[in-house]
Amino acid sequence: MTNNPISQISDEEIVSMTLRERSTFGFIVERYEAKLRRYIERLGVRDKDDQMDVLQEVFIKAYKNLNSFDIQMSFSAWIYRIAHNEAISWYRKHNVRPEGHLIADSSEVLNLIKSKEEAADVVFDQNINAEEVNKALLRIDEKYRQILTLRYFEHMEYDEISDVLKIPVGSVGTLIHRGKKQLLNELNLDSIRI
C-alpha cells in the first residue's frame, strides 16, 4: 500500500482526477471503506450486509455530490458527514434505535477517559474495564455518543467534527464536555476498577 504511488496523492487531487475520469473514484472507495465501515458500525449499523448497502449509498452520494466538496474543508470530514447522514437515515428508515457498537480497544477508551481537555474534574484509576466504559457510552445521549465517537475513536479535530455534524465549532467543545460529564455519571466507578 505504501509503495503504491496513489497513496502519495491527496484526497483533493483524487477528487479533481475523478471529475475527469470516473474510474479514479475507486481510489476514494479503497481509501475510505474501512474507516467508514468502522464509523457506521459505531453509529449502529452492525449487520455486514447492511453496512455494505449503506456504504454503497455513501459512495454513490459522494460521487454525485463531488462538485459540492469545498476544497477549503477536509475531504475526510466531508465524506464522514455523508456517512453520518446515511447511517442516521438508515436506522430511521429501519425504525431501529441507534445502538452504537463501540468496538474500541482499551487504549482508545483510556484515551477518552484520561483526556485532560474539558476535564470533568474526576481523577480516574488507570485500571479501567473497557467493557464497562463501552456500555456506559451506549447509555448516554445519542448526540454525545456521536461527538465522543468522532473525537476519541475517529480522532478528529474540532473543526472537522464541526463539518461532519454541521454544528458551530464552539459547540463541539461544549458538547464534548457535557458528553464526558454524562459518561462519567453513567460509569459506576467501583465496578470498572479491576
* Interacting residues with another protein (CB under 8 A): 19, 22-23, 25-26, 29-30, 33-34, 52, 55-56, 59-60, 63-68, 70, 159, 162-163, 166-171
Considering beta carbons, is residue 5 or 126 the nearer one to another protein? 5
- Cβ atoms of residues 47 and 54 within 8 Å: no
- Cβ atoms of residues 166 and 147 within 8 Å: no
Give me the least distance between CB of 49 and another protein, in Å please: 11
Distance between alpha carbon 109 and the CA centroid of its chain, in Å?
14
Give me the least distance between CB of 178 and another protein, in Å please: 16
Considering beta carbons, is residue 68 or 95 the nearer one to another protein? 68
Considering beta carbons, is residue 112 or 146 the nearer one to another protein? 146
Give me the least distance between CB of 139 and another protein, in Å please: 28
Cα-Cα-Cα-Cα torsion 84, 86, 91, 92, nearest 10 degrees, comes to 110
Q: If you ran DSSP here, which 8-state letter would residue 68 be given?
A: G
Identify the sign of the CA torsion 127, 38, 72, 10.
Answer: positive
Give me the least distance between CB of 135 and another protein, in Å please: 26
| 173 Cβ contact partners less than 8 Å away, ≥ 6 residues apart | 118, 158
The three cell numbers locating residue 71:
476544497
- Cβ atoms of residues 69 and 24 within 8 Å: no
Give me the least distance between CB of 175 and another protein, in Å please: 13
Considering beta carbons, is residue 37 or 151 the nearer one to another protein? 37
Considering beta carbons, is residue 137 or 164 the nearer one to another protein? 164
Give me the least distance between CB of 113 and another protein, in Å please: 28
Question: Which is nearest to 43 in space by CA: 3, 90, 94?
Answer: 90
Considering beta carbons, is residue 18 or 149 the nearer one to another protein? 18
